[in-house]
A and B are shown apart, each in its own frame.
Chain A
């Protein structure tokens, strides 16, 4: 176990170093942020001064070295655009993204597991077929286009829900949260639904596939033969066994929801991390882009680790140290 975690940490450092190198040098080659940031009528002297102030006049190797030295102490540079530490700018936007992702995942799981269970238990009934057909459509719908349709229907045509921005927030445990009040929640509903649709389809399909595979196995037959009531066979025996792959996927998908929020936040002008990073890419705000990617890469490695550990705790057949 300890060896496993240590090895993972080594890999984490490798991946972080590789990502930072790629993004750092890549963005350096793409263009000069000063050309975008300074006043268009600025002369060369002013541009040179701006470059020096941002530390961009030094050779790229030296800039990377400065970045690395900072990164070791948790300092990921100062945003060119905001003039504040990049991490601070990102953390400020984080609660908005997290609450959106959380709401979306709750929607997807609360609907997806029961629907998938039904479709798997009665695969030939017409509601099951409808669910499956709908899930294929949900799978095929590009997220950003669904977002546009949601805006068109619920905001433009019906006028029920607002389509852009985030509602009023309140402070909960030091975080700015908006979804606890209807005033704020109504801003979050459309983007969260948009984000949830793809995951909903995925969870339905996964649950159904698992139910179909598992219900053919001997332990289910045995439980039935013992005369256990149907709800116990399904609720305890079956559900427990389909839960293992489901938890893996839900855990992994939580991360991908946060990553995919990039798209949804752009469409709904939701002031989260995703929108920040897209804006930063266009403004060549390298410190913010690098810091965001470092953080999200780290988050993913952490999620993967937790899922692997949870997996081994839930399923005694999985031995971590052996297969890695």
Chain B
């Protein structure tokens, strides 16, 4: 445009260009945007409000995909469940719950883990030793086990499952944040900030944290996908969410009893939605990791 021989590449533009190198990642990004839009707009685009029990007609129960409603009006594109609920609407709303739980727990865990991890790297000493030992011990156990213990003790509920997922995830962020901060800590700009006699809080929050962010973002995408899958698994086991606002996992669990009689759609379609959600996040995360990984720097 300007006609310059060598255009100055902004880091953001270089990042976008590298990200776009993988067509698979772009497909993932497009899918992710679609999934998020569907979740946000669920009340607008759903053919039916699946929570409004008055609108449900038991005559319509367990209809296969493509059947019209008994009372006329709408067609059940993905069939109906045991209570005559439109599966498409139930999936849209379920997606909302699943994404909300995954993202909320991810954001809380990221914040908690990042602050603790960066603080550990900055403060060092006993605080660092104890914190990292706790992280080591917790990461020695599989997430599902930790979540299982907590949910057995906490009971059901959206808030409870978010607590359990945060407890499961914070350690990953703490470890990543600490190792990133350890690298950054010794760089000159931190020394300069110290030389300016800035307060430690300011150095950690304004200088150290932003620079430790890229690896955290990579871990974050993977973790959100994990959290969504874990929530679905726990709900499927009957340990996660209450049945009043079913997430995708609970929808799949509800369809389980009909599976053996061949009524596949009640379980399979929510599963497809879950798969597409997790897959799109993983595709994006995978490419982010390649782009942001200095070891594979081109």
Contacts and interface: CB of A to CB of B under 8 A. Distances in A.
Interface of A: 11, 15, 19, 22-23, 26-27, 29-30, 133, 136-137, 139-145, 148-149, 151-152, 155-156, 163, 213, 252, 255-256, 259-260, 262-263, 266-267, 277-278, 281-282, 289, 293, 296-297, 300-301, 304
A151 B262 CA distance: 11
Contacts of A136: 279, 282-283, 286
B153 A26 contact: yes
B268 A142 contact: no
Contacts of B137: 11, 15
Most A Cβ at <10 Å: residue of B133, B141, B275, B283: B141
Given A133-B24, A156-B259, A260 B144 contact: yes
B229 A259 contact: no
Given A142-B233, A289-B152, 10 more contacts: A137-B275, A140-B225, A140-B279, A142-B271, A149-B271, A156-B262, A255-B142, A259-B142, A263-B233, A281-B152
A1 to B, nearest CB: 18
Give the size category of B's interface with A.
Answer: 35 or more
A301 B264 contact: no
A263 to B, nearest CB: 6
Interface string B145-170: 10011001111000000000000000
Interface stretch (B68-76, B205-213, B234-242): B234-242
B140 A142 contact: no
Contacts of B142: 255-256, 259-260
B12 interface: no
B267 A148 contact: yes
A4 B153 CA distance: 33
Nearest to A263: B233
Contacts, number: 111
B239 A281 contact: yes
Contacts of B262: 156
B120 interface: no
A194 to B, nearest CB: 12
A140 B28 CA distance: 12
Nearest to B253: A144
Contacts of A30: 152-153, 155
User: Considering residues A137, A144, A252, which has the most beta carbons from chain B within 10 angstroms of its beta carbon?
Assistant: A144
Contacts of A296: 145
20 contacts: A11-B137, A22-B149, A22-B153, A23-B149, A23-B153, A140-B229, A140-B275, A140-B278, A142-B271, A142-B275, A143-B233, A148-B267, A152-B264, A259-B144, A260-B142, A260-B144, A278-B239, A281-B239, A282-B238, A296-B145
A297 B153 CA distance: 16
Nearest to B133: A11
A296 B144 CA distance: 12
A contact face: mostly helix, strand, loop, or mixed: helix
Shortest 7 CB-CB distances between A and B: which pairs? A26-B153, A256-B142, A145-B271, A140-B279, A140-B278, A259-B142, A259-B145
Interface in B248-267: 249, 252, 256, 259-260, 262, 264, 267
Interface in B124-139: 133, 137
Given A23-B153, A139-B282, A142-B229, A151 B144 contact: no
A259 B142 CA distance: 7
A144 B152 contact: no
Contacts of A137: 275, 279
A262 B145 CA distance: 9
A149 B148 contact: no
Given A27-B152, A133-B24, A143-B233, A151 B271 contact: no
A293 B141 CA distance: 11
A144 B233 CA distance: 7
B233 to A, nearest CB: 5
B110 interface: no
A285 to B, nearest CB: 11
A139 B256 CA distance: 22
Contacts of B140: 252, 300-301, 304
B274 A145 contact: yes
B232 A144 contact: yes
